[in-house]
Structure 1
Amino acid sequence: MAGLLTNSERAEKRAQVAALNEQAMSRFAALFEQRHGANSQHAATHWEMAKKIGFPAFRHEDWHYTPLSSVLKTDYRFSSLDATEKDCGSLALAIDAYRIVLIDGRYSSALSSIDMGPFQVALLDNQDLLPSPVNSEIFLHLTESLAVQPLVIQLSANKTAEKPLYLLNISSGAHDEKTTNISQYRYHVTLGANSKAQVIEHFVSLNDQAHMTGSRLTVEVGDNADFSHFKLNVENERAQHFAHNDIVVGRDSRVKSSSFLLGGLLTRNHNSARLDGENSELELNSLLLPKDNEIVDTRTYLEHNKDYCNSRQLHKVIAMDSSKAVFNGMIKVAPNALKTDGQMTNNTLLLGDKAEIDTKPQLEIYADDVKCGHGATVGRIDDEQLFYMRSRGIDGKAAKHMIIIAFAAELTESIESEELKHAVMATIRQRLAEV
C-alpha cells in the first residue's frame, strides 16, 4: 500500500531519530553543565530523569502529532540580555498586582514589586527538592534541570491575597542565526489552609527573534482554599514554548485553571492535577488560536483520588490557515474515589481548508458509583448562520468575527481580571484580522 514504510525503511528512520536524539541530548547536557546544575540537588535529580526518559523515539504515540525535528537540530544558548523598565512597561499588563518579573529565566528585582503583600518569595536553595511530578515527560525534566533561578512562593494559612500574583516572563531571541536563546521559568506556589489567591502567568517576547521557552508552575493547594490561575501566552510567531504545570488539591478546595495559548510557532502545554482531598472542585480550561503553520498541542492529566470530588474541563480550539492543533486529555478515577463527577469537553472550529485538529479525550475508571464523561466536536462556521447575519446587513467578515468570538466567549467571559480579559480579546481580534 502506498505511503507505508518497509521494514528496512522503518529501521533506518528509527536509527536516524535515535542519532538526532543523542546529538540533542548532548547539547542539552552542555547547557546543564553551563548552568552549574550539578551544584543543585534538585537540578541534578531531574537531569538524571531527563537522560533516563530521553527524547521520543520514532513514532512515539504521545509525540506523533508534535514534530520535534526543529527543536532537536537547534543549538541553544542562555541569554544575558536585560529588559529595561520601558520594555517592561510596554509588555506588562496594566494590572494592579504583586508583580514578579523574570527575564530569560532570571529574576529581576528592579522590575518586580518591592511589596509582595501576604506572599513570601524566595529563591530555591541548592539543596532543596520540590514535589515530584504528577505526570512526567522529557521537557518537564529539562525545565527543572535548566531553570536558572527557581522561585518558591508561599501564602500562609488563613490569608487572602487581595491582589493577583502576576508572573511576567520575558524571553528574548538572539540576533545570531547560528544559535537560539533558551529560557526556563520555574515557580512553586504553596497555599495554606483556608487561603485564597489568584495567579496570572504571562509569557511575552522581547523582540521578534526565535527563542525557546520552558515553563513549569507547581501549586500545592491546602484544605478549604480558593485558587484561580490564568495563563496567557502571546510570544512571537517564531517562538517554541514547552510548559508543564501541576496542581495538587487538598480537601474542600476550589480550583480553576485556564490557559489562553495565542502565540508561538510550536507550543506544547501540559496541565496535570491531582485531587487528593475529599469534596473538592476543579476546573481546567484552555483556548487555542493557531494560525499560519503554527502547531499547538495541549494536554491535560487529572487524577481523582478521593471521594465526592467534581471536575469540569472545557477546551476550545479555533484553527486557522494551515495550522495544527492537538488535544489529549486523561481523567483517572482511583478505586476509592467514590461519587466522582468528572466531565471533559473539546470543541474545535476549523477556519482554514488545510487546518487540522487531532483530539483524544480519555477516561480510566477504577471505581463504581461515579459519573464521568467526555466528548469532542469538530466543525466549521455554519453557512446558515452567516446567511442569517448577512441578511440583516452585517458584512461577511464582521459576521465571521462575531461567530468566532461568540464561540470563544464561554472562556473569555469567565476571566475575572478586566485587564487580562482586554488583553486576551485584543490578541484574538488581532489574529482574526485576516479572516
Structure 2
Amino acid sequence: MTRKISPMARQAVDHYITQSELLNNGCESDIVVEGRRRAQAILTNQGFPTQKDEDWQYTKLTGFVQERFNLAAKTEVKHQDIHALLPDFAVTKIVFVDGWFDEALSDDLSALPAGVSLESTRDTFEISGGDARLYAREEAINAEPFGVLNNLFLADGFYLQVSRNVTVSVPVFVLYLQTQQNQISTLRNQIILEENSELTLVEQYVSLPDGASAGFKSLTNVVTEISVAKSARMKQVIVQQQAAEAYYFNNQFIFQADKSVFNTFYAGMGSKISRHQNHLRMDGEHIENSQNSACLAHDGEVVDSRTETQHNQVWGVSKQLHKYVLSGSAEGVFNGMIRVDQQAQKTDGNMDNKNLLLSESARMNTKPQLEIYADDVRCTHGSATGQINEDQIFYLQARGIPRKQAIEMITQAFLMEPAEQIDRAEIQAWVKSGLNDALQALQHKTLLSASASPKAAE
C-alpha cells in the first residue's frame, strides 16, 4: 500500500533514487543492483517517517527531508589529518573516508592473526556468495526506514569474521571520517564470531576539524549485523562525535547463541539528529548482554537511542543503563523494549534510563517498556528526568567548591556512570576523556546561552 507522501518528501525520495541509480551504473554485482532496486520500490511507496508514525513521534524528520545529500566522491586524507583522533592504546585500525574504505590509512589487514578475516564490504562483492550474504536479513533491515536507505546506497563497509576458539587480543578500531559537505556516507558491516571466540571492537564517527565548522551538513547511515555464536564473547564501544549539523542513523541487528556474551556501549555527543538503535535477539540459553549509553546534546540537537531486546530462551540476562545530559533547547529520546517469550523462563532483565536537564527548555521523551509472556522472570524498568538537586550543590559549596564547579562535578559524575561499565581500563579512560571534552564544550555553550538570554540581562 502506497502512503500519502508530502511534495517535499516526494522530491527527497526522487533525489535519493536518482543518486542510487548512479551507483548501479557499472556495479559489479547484479545481486546488489537488484537489492538497491527493491529498496527503491519500498522508498517510493513509503517515503520517510512522519510524526504520525509512533516510533518517530519525537524525532522529527521535517528538516532532514528538506536536505539533498549526494553520493560522496573519494577524497584524500593524510595520516597527519587523523593522528590526533587515534586512541593511545594498541589497535588494529581500519579507516573509512566519506563511506569508502581507505586502504592507505588503514593497517595491513593481511597481517591479522590466523583465524581473523577482515575486509571491506566492497571486496566481498567479488567473493562467491559474498554479495548474497548481505541480503540474508533483508526483510528485517528494510523494516527500518533508514535500513531501506542503507540498502538503497549499499556500497561499502567491513566484513569481520573470527574463527572458532580464536581470541583477538588487540582491539579492532574502526574510524569513520566525514569530510565533505552535503554528502552521504553509507556503511554496511557484518561481524561473525564463531564458537568460543572473542573480540573487542571500538568504532568512532568523526567530522574532521575543518568539517566540524558551523553549518557543515552530512548524512551517515549505518547498518551492522552481528552474530555471536555459542560461548563467544564480544565487547563493543561506539563513539559518535560528528558536527552539530550532521545526521547520524545507525541500526544494529545482534543475534546471540547459547552461553554467549555481548556488551555494547554507545556515546552520543550531539549532532542535528542522531538515532542509534540496537535490535537484539537472544536465541539461546544462558545468554548475557549489556547495552549502555551516555548521550549529551545542546540547542537544536536531537539525540535518540533505542533498544529492542528479545529473550527467546531460558536463563537470559540483559542489563541496560542509559543516561542523557541535555542543555539549551536540546531534545532527547529514549525507547527501550524488553520482550520475554513464553518459554524464556528465569529471565533477568533490567533497563534504567536517567536524564539530567541543564535548562528549562531542554526536553526528554522516554518510554521504557516490558512485554512479558513468561511467569517465572525478574524484569524491571525505570526512568527519571529532572534538574540538578540544589541540596547536592549546597553540599559541595559548603566544602568550599564554587557553584559553577559544583554543577560541573555533579554533571560529570552523572554522565560517566554508563562508561564505567567498560571493563578494559584503557578504553574506558579514552571514552571518558572524549565525554569530558564534549561535556565541557556543552557546559560552555550553556553558560553563553544563559548570559545571552533576556532573563540574564535583567
Corresponding residue for residue 256 of structure 2: 249
Aligned: 1:173 with 2:167? no
Letter in 2 for 1:125: F
Aligned partner (choices 156, 173, 176) of residue 163 of structure 2? 156
Corresponding residue for residue 201 of structure 2: 199
Aligned partner (choices 23, 30, 42) of residue 35 of structure 1? 23
SS in 2 for 1:128: helix
SS in 2 for 1:433: helix
Corresponding residue for residue 72 of structure 2: 79
Report the Cα distance in structure 2 between the residues aligned to 1:260 and 1:84, rounded to whole angstroms. Answer: 26
Aligned: 1:395 with 2:391? no
More helix by percentage: 2
Report the Cα distance in structure 2 between the residues aligned to 1:228 and 1:358, rounded to whole angstroms. Answer: 28
- CA deviations 1:269-306 (Å, max 9, x no partner) are 11111001100101011111011221111111111111
Shift of 1:54: 3.1
1:349-428 equivalences under 5 Å are 349-415=356-422, 416=424, 417=427, 418-428=429-439
Report the Cα distance in structure 2 between the residues aligned to 1:88 and 1:238, rounded to whole angstroms. Answer: 21
Judged with a 3 Å threshold, the aligned counterparts in structure 2 of structure 1 residues 192 and 53 are, in CA distance, closer, same or farther, namely: farther
Q: How many residue pairs were aligned?
A: 416
Q: TM-score, normalised by structure 1?
A: 0.91
Q: TM-score, normalised by structure 2?
A: 0.86
SS in 2 for 1:318: strand
Judged with a 3 Å threshold, the aligned counterparts in structure 2 of structure 1 residues 47 and 222 are, in CA distance, closer, same or farther, namely: farther
Moved more, 183-192 or 93-102: 93-102
Does the aligned pair in 1 maintain the 2:160–2:190 contact within 8 Å?
yes
Judged with a 3 Å threshold, the aligned counterparts in structure 2 of structure 1 residues 163 and 149 are, in CA distance, closer, same or farther, namely: same
Does the aligned pair in 2 maintain the 1:93–1:420 contact within 8 Å?
no
- CA deviations 1:368-426 (Å, max 9, x no partner) are 21221211101110111111111111011110011011112321222321333333333
Which runs of 5 or more residues in structure 2 are unaligned? 447-458
Which runs of 5 or more residues in structure 1 are unaligned? 1-13, 175-179
Corresponding residue for residue 10 of structure 1: none
Moved more, 189-198 or 148-157: 148-157
Corresponding residue for residue 124 of structure 1: 124
Aligned partner (choices 7, 10, 13) of residue 25 of structure 1? 13
Does the aligned pair in 1 maintain the 2:327–2:442 contact within 8 Å?
no
Q: CA RMSD in A?
A: 1.9
Judged with a 3 Å threshold, the aligned counterparts in structure 2 of structure 1 residues 49 and 310 are, in CA distance, closer, same or farther, namely: farther
Aligned partner (choices 44, 48, 67) of residue 55 of structure 1? 48
1:92-103 equivalences under 5 Å are 92-103=86-97
Moved more, 397-406 or 28-37: 28-37
Does the aligned pair in 2 maintain the 1:124–1:150 contact within 8 Å?
no
Report the Cα distance in structure 2 between the residues aligned to 1:214 and 1:368, rounded to whole angstroms. Answer: 39
Percent same amino acid at aligned positions? 30
Report the Cα distance in structure 2 between the residues aligned to 1:411 and 1:110, rounded to whole angstroms. Answer: 35
Aligned: 1:68 with 2:61? yes
SS in 1 for 2:175: strand
Letter in 1 for 2:83: G
Shift of 1:91: 2.8
Shift of 1:199: 0.7
Report the Cα distance in structure 1 between the residues aligned to 2:432 and 2:414, rounded to whole angstroms. Answer: 15
Moved more, 82-91 or 278-287: 82-91
SS in 2 for 1:353: coil
Letter in 2 for 1:199: L
Corresponding residue for residue 263 of structure 1: 270
Letter in 2 for 1:373: T
Does the aligned pair in 2 maintain the 1:199–1:229 contact within 8 Å?
yes
Shift of 1:255: 1.0
Letter in 2 for 1:70: G
Moved more, 258-267 or 89-98: 89-98
Judged with a 3 Å threshold, the aligned counterparts in structure 2 of structure 1 residues 57 and 316 are, in CA distance, closer, same or farther, namely: closer
Moved more, 354-363 or 92-101: 92-101
